[in-house]
Every structure is written in C-alpha cells, then in structure tokens.
Structure 1
Amino acid sequence: MGFMKAKPTKVEVLNLWYDVPLIAKFWLAVPTRIRVATYRFIWQTLDKIYPKGSISTRVRRVLPGVYLKYGTIKATEPQAMVLVRRHTQLRTSVALDFIQMELPSPYKDDEPYIYSYLLMTAVSGQTVLEVEDTLMPDQITTIGRDLQDYLIAMRNIPNPYDYDICDAAGGTLDVPLHGSYGDVPILKSVGGFHAWVAQGIQLNKHWPTMQPILEPIFSKFNEEDTVFMHGDLSPRNIMVHRGRLSGLIDWETAGWMPSYWEYVSSDFDGPVGEAIIKVAIPERYDAERRGLRMSFGVLHGFDPTRSASAIGD
C-alpha cells in the first residue's frame, strides 16, 4: 500500500509525558518526526523478516516487553490505559507513545486515511483463549473473581468530559455490537443513549415489537450515572498468568456507558469465557443483554425475531 509511505499532511501526538516511566520520557523527548521515521523503519523491517500473510494482527514485539501497534487506532486506547494507570492500581499495558497521522488518500475524492503508531508495554501471561483448555474449574472461578475486583475498581474512574456517554478520549464510542455501522455518538445521559437506540428502531419500523422488551430496561436505568468499562470483554482480551488474572488488553472500546453495558457487550466465546465473565459480573444483566443485542440487530436491518441469533447471542 504505497500511500502509507506518503508524507503525512497532519500529525497529532498524545501528551503522555506525565504518565510514562522515566526511560520512556527520554524517548518522548526525541522529535516526533524522528520517532515516526523509527517506527516506520521498524515496521518495514519486520515486514521483510516476517511474511505479512503469517501475521494476523497489527501488533509486533519490538523489544522484550514492548510492542508497537500500527493501524487505524483511535486515541481511546492509549487514553484508557492512562486513566487506568492514574486512578487505579490495576495491571494493564502502559502507553509509551501515541502518534496519529493523516495521510492523503490515493483516490482523488476520498477522505484522508488516519493511521497511528502506539508504543506500549505488554501484559504478562496469555489470553484465556490460548489457555482455556488447561484451566481447572477452581482456576476459572478465581480468574472470574479477580476480574470482578478489576471491573469494580475501573467503575470508579471519574469522567472528565461533558458527556456521560463517550469513549475514554471523550469522543464517539466504538461498540463491537454495532460493527461497521459506525460509533455510538457522544450523548448527555443514559436516557439519551436509550432515546438514540429507540429512534433507530423506530426508523426500522420495529418499535411495536421491541417496545415491551426495552421500556422496562430504559425506565430502570434512565436516571443512572454511567460507569467506566472496557466494553469488549472476551477470552481474547482477558490475560491470565499462573491461574490468576494478569490484566486486560485491547482498550479501543473503553468508555462510559450504562452499568449493564459491560455484560451486554461481552463476547462469551465458549464455556470458559462465559463462566469467567458470569462470575465477574454477578448482577447477570440477562434481560438487558437480550434486549440490547436484539436492538442492535434491528439497527443492522434484521427482523427482531432473528436479530439475537444473527449477532451471536
């Protein structure tokens, strides 16, 4: 993709100076253009060493315990790491550098491409997905309880923005349930989020079917405050080490949403992941999960009777 070698027309750098270890401060003191050139050189070199077809992710190790991520990364991800580091004692990756670039499109009338480099530390251990076949029942329960404590601590992270519904950087929220249909907009309240969902369903002419399912949920949570959450719990994002939780990864969906959202948005992806998440979130928002997942299916054009199965519930 030749356009990725083009000179950026705009470069933005997230200020991480006060949130990184001392050694990283020396690297941040290097001019941005040199850091970008270094990241580009590293990436191009690794592309030559490792065939592109053999690597399915945008993340590559560049030093022991340090990874470089490249692609369409929003500021949400490093900002979420910063918030967790500032306000809790939880274990997570540390964002060391984040540079976002606007590159000209190779096509005349297309919008510019937004690409970013994210340099970060690793979380120890392996994903639940990688080790689920080796976990004993008592370890699954222990990991679930560790995750419960983790999520409780996260919920206390204050929202510094003017909108109750927003991502960790104060912008629109990436919601996996919404897929490629766009982000959830920034909204003033939980009630505003519910109104946005209802409006989309009404446009699809399925409100008479969905109303009796959603109205009890909306009335129960409309006046609640939002809480900070990861937004995409799944066996591929939960890290474990020696039978205990070692942290969470992939924070691009993090932000402030209604208290039920962590459970609604979770991807159980097998019995082990489901067991861990259900221990971690004992409130078991099953009615909310069914109703909201059906709703996003309707927003995608599915009939309500098929939407839950169509989106993998």
Structure 2
Amino acid sequence: MESDPLKFRLPTDLWESVPFLARLWLTVPTRIRLSAYRLIWWLADKIHPRTRTTRVHRILPGIYLKYGFIRSSEPHAMILLRRHTKLHSSITLDYVIHTEHETGSTSTPFTRTFLLMTAAQGQSLMAVEDQLTPEQITTIGLDLRDYLVEMHKIPNPYKYGLCSSDGGELDAPRFTGGNYDIQPCEDIRSFHAWLYRCMRRHWPTMQPRVQPIFDKYDEQCTIFSHGDLSSDNIMVHNGRLSGLIDWETSGWMPPYWDYLCTRWENSEVCKTVVRLAIPEHSDRERYEMSVAAGISRGHSPKMFPSFEGSNIL
C-alpha cells in the first residue's frame, strides 16, 4: 500500500487552544505523523477490535484517533466553534489526509484520513437515556436550546450562502442517501430550486405540499447547523448537556435544517430533547420536507401518506 499525505494546519490564532505537547507534535513532518498514526491504529485494532461501523479509538486518556473517509467539514466545524463561541465539543489536534492505492494496481486511488482530537466530556445520550429523570431530560433539552442559539450565530466566511463548514459540498444523507454531496448554493432559494429539479416529475403532486415552505424560507438567511442531531451525537454529563460531536454534516443551512435532519426514530428521549431545544419547530414542515427528501432519492410520492394520515407524533 502506497500513500501520499496532504497537510492540514490549525489557523494560527487557534494554536493557543491546543495543548503544548500537541503543538510540539504538529511540528513533526506530516509523513512521520502519518506513519505513527497507522502504527497506532494497527496496534489499537489488535488490542481492541472494532465493529464494522466503529471508526474511533481512544489512544490516550482524553485523546481519540478517528480514521476513514472523514470530510474536512468536521475539523473545520470544531475550529469555528472554538473561534466564535464558548460551546463545548472535541478539539481538533491534527487532520492528515492521504491518498492510498494498492502497490502496482491501476485502480482509482482512494482517500483516507486520520483525525486526532480531544474527547468530549460525558457519555452519549443513547448510553444514559434510560437513567435520566424527566427533570433531567427537560434540563438537557433547554441546555441544547441555548447551545443551538449560540451555534447558529457562527458567521459564514465563504462566498456561498449555503455550504458545509469548510465552504464546500454538503453531506446531507437525508436528501442524497449518502450517494453524493449537495453542491454549495448561493442561498436558500437556490437550494429549493435544486430540490424542485429533483422532484420535477412529481411537482404537480408535491407543489401544494412544499411550496408554502419554500415561500416561507426563500428570503431568510442560512444559519450554522449541526445537521445530525441524534442520541449518539448529543453528549451528557451529570444530567446536563456537555456538548455535541460528529460535525461532518455541519454547515450553513435553512433554519429548519436541524429539526428536519434529527435522527430520533429509536429514541423517545431524543425526540423530547430536540423538541424542547427547537420550540419553533413545525412537525408538518419536517414531514413534508422529509417527503421531498425521499423523492429526491428516487422514491414515489405514493409511498408517503398525507401529514394528517401519517403517524409521526
């Protein structure tokens, strides 16, 4: 296996947030750091075998190494969070992209990444939800409301109004099924125009369902959104919200985005928390935009009942 490492460096004004030893480590040439990560990953796999979906190993107390296809939106989001807010999350320490291909192979090279980061405090909501009291659940929801209000204020430094946290394509599996990323758009109206094109064949059926939503948000500004609120990405410590993790889907999106993209299907606690956190939510908007997302993935409107006939509450 051959590899070609690419560099990623933290903006200078954020180095003061990185532990001193980490700053020393980042002065080491990229190829040496990459070799070290590959050795550490191999050893960690031998000591603690991963499941098919696990991409993270704890390699030191409070330090995690993540490996795989990791979009640069994740370290950029953590950087933006530390630059513009006091909100808690993991801290990016290093991000090494490398292109791999089999030795002697003529197949297309593939990109893999090592992301070194600090641990977020606490445990996931999924891990502790059965131990929480109703009062604690309410507190976590209100904590998350404050967290999102501050997070939404992170300014967009890029030329596109609707884009990922690194200014590029957006990972939006609810709309794409994970098969491709959404291209950056000038604004919310442009995003709705893209969605219209995806639904064009079914527009006579979908227009009365989604046009009022388009009209409501077309002229509004995008806000910084997490894009994947769920019981495994919401962190809890001592019955309080301690932060959010997994920022690959983050970016500047329509105001309805975080409520629309929440994954709560298997967690009533998560559903309660998010509804408390986003009090202005509309279940009808969420449902109709979810239908639009399903059609953008190639499904027929016939698969989806009307909002009144659905069972989403």
| 1-structure distance, mates of 2:82, 2:211 | 37
**Alpha-carbon distance, 1:47 to partner:** 1.7
Which of 71, 76, 79 is residue 76 of structure 2 equivalent to? Answer: 79
**Alpha-carbon distance, 1:46 to partner:** 1.3
1:210 aligned counterpart, secondary structure: helix
Residue 47 of structure 2 aligns with an amino acid whose one-letter code is: I
**Alpha-carbon distance, 1:48 to partner:** 1.7
What is the alpha-carbon root mean square deviation over aligned residues?
A: 2.0
Residue 224 of structure 2 aligns with an amino acid whose one-letter code is: F
- Identify if the C-alpha distance between structure 1 residues 180 and 55 changes in structure 2 by more than 3 Å, giving closer, same or farther: closer
Which of 189, 193, 196 is residue 195 of structure 1 equivalent to? Answer: 193
1:263 to 2:259 alignment: yes
The answer on whether the counterparts of 2:5 and 2:34 sit within 8 Å (CA) in structure 1 is no
Tell me the equivalent position of 1:3.
none
* Structure 2: stretches of 5+ with no match in the other structure: none
Tell me the equivalent position of 2:93.
96
- Identify if the C-alpha distance between structure 1 residues 131 and 153 changes in structure 2 by more than 3 Å, giving closer, same or farther: same
1:13 aligned counterpart, secondary structure: coil
**Alpha-carbon distance, 1:18 to partner:** 3.6
**Alpha-carbon distance, 1:107 to partner:** 9.3
| 2-structure distance, mates of 1:17, 1:135 | 41
| 2-structure distance, mates of 1:110, 1:214 | 43
* Structure 1: stretches of 5+ with no match in the other structure: 1-5
- Identify if the C-alpha distance between structure 1 residues 307 and 58 changes in structure 2 by more than 3 Å, giving closer, same or farther: farther
| 2-structure distance, mates of 1:105, 1:281 | 48
- Scaled by the length of structure 2, the TM-score of the pair is 0.92
| 2-structure distance, mates of 1:184, 1:140 | 34
- Scaled by the length of structure 1, the TM-score of the pair is 0.92
**Alpha-carbon distance, 1:102 to partner:** 1.4
1:9 aligned counterpart, secondary structure: strand
The answer on whether the counterparts of 2:2 and 2:103 sit within 8 Å (CA) in structure 1 is no
Which of 156, 159, 164 is residue 161 of structure 2 equivalent to? Answer: 164
| 2-structure distance, mates of 1:265, 1:160 | 24
| 1-structure distance, mates of 2:44, 2:124 | 24
| 2-structure distance, mates of 1:179, 1:24 | 37
- Identify if the C-alpha distance between structure 1 residues 65 and 286 changes in structure 2 by more than 3 Å, giving closer, same or farther: same
Which of 209, 233, 240 is residue 236 of structure 2 equivalent to? Answer: 240
Equivalenced residue count is 304
Which of 174, 178, 181 is residue 183 of structure 1 equivalent to? Answer: 181
Q: Deviations over 1:119-139 (max 9, x none)?
A: 000111111111111111111
**Alpha-carbon distance, 1:15 to partner:** 3.2
